[in-house]
């Protein structure tokens, strides 16, 4: 019987792993150099804008090499956020339909008559109050 080995098969080894490691080191050293050496934050006559070559270029290259991994991460984060948003929304309700409140939600110690105004309902409207019928 052949014992199972923990060594990866050639198909599972990423061909760009050495490039990713080199670009990660380049990015880290470039960021450290920009923090520690202020003169490298400017423009060089031969190389151009140094922060681009020290930080931005390796970051773009890493993003291109790991685009499938980044896309999968973004997709899973969006799905998680959508699931959380749907769970928080609760049950869907019909538009224009108000829920009936249970009797325990009514204010205690007050009756419905306490909330009614002294003016009769038919006189509340300004149009009715200013109508010729009401001026008599």
In a domain? residue 122: no
pLDDT tens, residue by residue, 59-113: 999 999 999 999 999 999 999 999 888 887 766 666 666 666 665 555 555 555 5
How far is residue 101's CA from residue 106's CA, in Å, rounded to a whole number?
Answer: 8
Strand partners, 48: 44
In a domain? residue 12: no
The whole domain housing 58 covers 17-89
In a domain? residue 113: no
Tally the domains of the chain: 1
∠ CA 26-54-14 to the nearest 5 degrees? 35
pTM, full prediction: 0.49
In a domain? residue 7: no
């Amino acid at each position: 019987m052949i014992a199972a080995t923990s060594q990866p098969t050639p198909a599972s080894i990423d061909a760009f792993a050495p490039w990713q490691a080199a670009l990660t080191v380049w990015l880290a050293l470039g960021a450290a150099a920009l923090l520690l050496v202020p003169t490298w934050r400017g423009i060089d006559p031969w190389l151009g804008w140094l922060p681009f070559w020290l930080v931005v270029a390796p970051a773009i290259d890493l993003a291109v090499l790991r685009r499938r991994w980044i896309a999968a991460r973004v997709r899973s984060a969006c799905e998680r956020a959508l699931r959380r948003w749907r769970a928080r929304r609760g049950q869907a309700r019909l538009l224009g339909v108000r829920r009936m409140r249970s009797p325990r939600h009514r204010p205690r110690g007050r009756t419905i008559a306490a909330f009614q105004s002294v003016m009769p309902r038919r006189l509340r409207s300004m149009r009715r109050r200013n109508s010729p019928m009401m001026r008599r």
